[in-house]
Amino acid sequence: MVQLTLTGAQKKVIREICEIEIDSLTEMLEEGPDDESMLLLQQTGSTVEEYNAKVKTMRDQFFEIQKHPEQLFKLDEYNISLFRHILFNLEEADEKPEDCITIKYPQAIKNLWSKLFAAEEFKELTSKLRLN
């Protein structure tokens, strides 16, 4: 297995993004499914309990990554896309506080993007090799 080494700054970036996602998932658990999610649950025949269990599992994964940032590269494709989405939105925000991670660690973020893409390519390659 390929080991991607993270710098201290990259670990800080990962921890901060995990905090954002943990806060969002905690809010989802506290407030329950919104109208759009309820419609989706009805369409798929899922229950609110199943929804809450899935959200809790996702939150637990981000808690684990917050403790051990190297675990980021073991996430499934969906959760990595959530992580990338947050990172992208932080970079593209019009107004950023001075302590924003994209201002404090621009080089770390640039290199983290490279590592995320490398990990994704590695997963795709190993997936194709398993199919053959």
- Indicate whether 1 pLDDT > 70: no
Query: Residue 2: inside a domain, yes or no?
Result: no
In this structure, is residue 3 part of a structural domain? Answer: no
Residues 10 and 108: beta-carbon distance below 8 Å: yes
Q: What percent of the chain clears pLDDT 70, i.e. is strictly above it? A: 97
The answer to whether position 22 is within a domain reads yes
The residues, ordered by sequence, that sit 6+ positions from 63 with a Cβ below 8 Å of its Cβ are 18, 22
Write the DSSP symbol of residue 94: S
Q: Please report whether residue 13 resides in a domain.
A: yes
Q: Which domain holds residue 30?
A: 8-131
pTM, two decimal places: 0.80
In a domain, 100, yes or no: yes
Number of domains in the chain: 1
Specify if 44 maps to a domain.
yes
Q: What is the pLDDT of residues 80-112, one digit of tens each?
A: 888 888 888 888 877 777 778 888 888 888 888
Range 53-57 contact pairs with CB under 8 angstroms and sequence separation of 24 or more: 55/25, 55/28, 55/29, 56/25, 56/29
The answer to whether residue 109 sits within a structural domain is yes
Residue 1 lies in a domain: no
pLDDT per residue as tens digits for the range 24-47 = 999 999 998 888 888 888 888 889
